[in-house]
Amino acid sequence: MEQALSDITVLDLGQVIAMPFCTMLLADMGARVIKVESREQAAERVSLGIKRVRNGVEERVPVSQYRDRNKQAITLNLKTAEGVALFKELVQHVDVVAENFSVGTMARLGLDYPVLQAVNPRLIYAAITAFGQYGPYAPQRGYDILAQAISGYMSITGFPDQPPTRSGQSISDYYTGMLCAFSILSALHYRDRTGTGQYIDLALLDSLVMALDNLGERYTVGGEVLTRAGNVSFGGSTSGVYGVTDGYVAIGAGSSDLVWRRFCQTIGEPAYAHDPRYATTAARRQRRDEIAAVIQSWTSTRTKAEAVQAMSSAGVPCAPVNTIDETVADPQIQAREMFVELDHPTYGPVKITGTALKLSETPGRVQHLAPLPGAHNEEIFVGLLGHSRDEVARWGAAGVV
């Protein structure tokens, strides 16, 4: 099947989350993504596999880095002169170089954008760092938790009487990865029109500031500093998470006055829909705790399934708060094929996260698991660059590949 990006080749130097996720999106859409890593990086990647006991034997299945699926993998030591020369040779054959090293790392290797642009003027070079390539924080190493802290994202997560809370996953890495993929495609579109490559500078911090919605403007325009509100939305009054007999459900009971009336009818309290204390969104916002108590009173005697069925059938947004095992088994998740099973050459069938990229003509596809270290050395160095197998063997003995 022809895919949208099957004519694009990417050299992926990405590590950990943000850039590997970005290039995974490109690979899901058919791009040829060549993962470039040293032997040491490759060994660490494989060692981070998920523990599984099968037939009484403990295995570490190297699929936890699902962000490297659909990619090819080569080993290359960029701290050697021959490794640098080979990388430059590769750059002549690709459309994109993608990396998320600390600021200055590629320059120290002699492989920064000006150098690579001279090798391939049409090159798109994408870099992700914690704070960006310039500014007072740029030289500092940083991770998601720092981006969440500085951006204010952490200050709005959690409950008012509890400390600021980190989002459960490294959310800035995923935001930035998606924005970087979008930026790469934008740059490729521009290059198709003009023939000109360019440099992309993405920061975890910037991406989370964008994700604050209108909270920044509520301060810059209105002088309002919003902080943690638990599971209640900043603009709403009756959305939240409520306990049931077998866990929790999320209910959006008052996203509009119509939904509020439906909710009141469903719980057998139609008078609340017309009571001036609760009839409008503005009024409900002032009595958030009272309404939460009303909702909790109703949910506390019901199961997840009962609450969801009653609310959803009445047109009130409601969903179970799933644990991860429940998420995997959820019928909507299964219908959308958000977990797919593939065969690993060593460990047999394994199930990994699917792709959210549903396009009618060129959908994203999960074709194979993350490659083993150096699995495509011969295909790339011999097949793409035209070197001999003897040269590759010599480089292997010398620690170049």
118 token code pair: 């001279």
Cβ pair 22, 178 in contact under 8 A? yes
* Burial letters 231-258, b for 16+ CB under 10 A, else e: ebeeebbbbbbbebeeebbbbbbbbeee
173 labelled catalytic = yes
Q: Give the 3-state DSSP-derived string for the chain, with helices as H, strands as E and coil as C.
A: CCCCCCCCEEEECCCCCHHHHHHHHHHHCCCEEEEEECHHHHHHHHHCCEEEEECCEEEEECCCCHHHCCCEEEECCCCCHHHHHHHHHHHCCCCEEEECCCCCHHHHCCCCHHHHHHHCCCCEEEEEECCCCCCCCCCCCCCHHHHHHHHCCHHHCCCCCCCCCCCCCCHHHHHHHHHHHHHHHHHHHHHHHHCCCEEEEEEHHHHHHHCCCCHHHHHHCCCCCCCCCCCCCCCCCCEEEEEECCEEEEEECCCCHHHHHHHHHHCCCHHHHCCCCCCCHHHHHHCHHHHHHHHHHHHCCCCHHHHHHHHHHCCCCEEECCCHHHHHHCHHHHHCCCEEEEEECCCEEEEEECCCCCCCCCCCCCCCCCCCCCCCHHHHHHHHCCCCHHHHHHHHHHCCC
270 token code pair: 């139609």
Residues 6+ apart with CB under 8 A from 366: 28, 69, 70, 340, 342, 352, 354, 355
Choice among 12, 95, 144, 173 that is catalytic = 173
Q: Which residues are catalytic?
A: 173
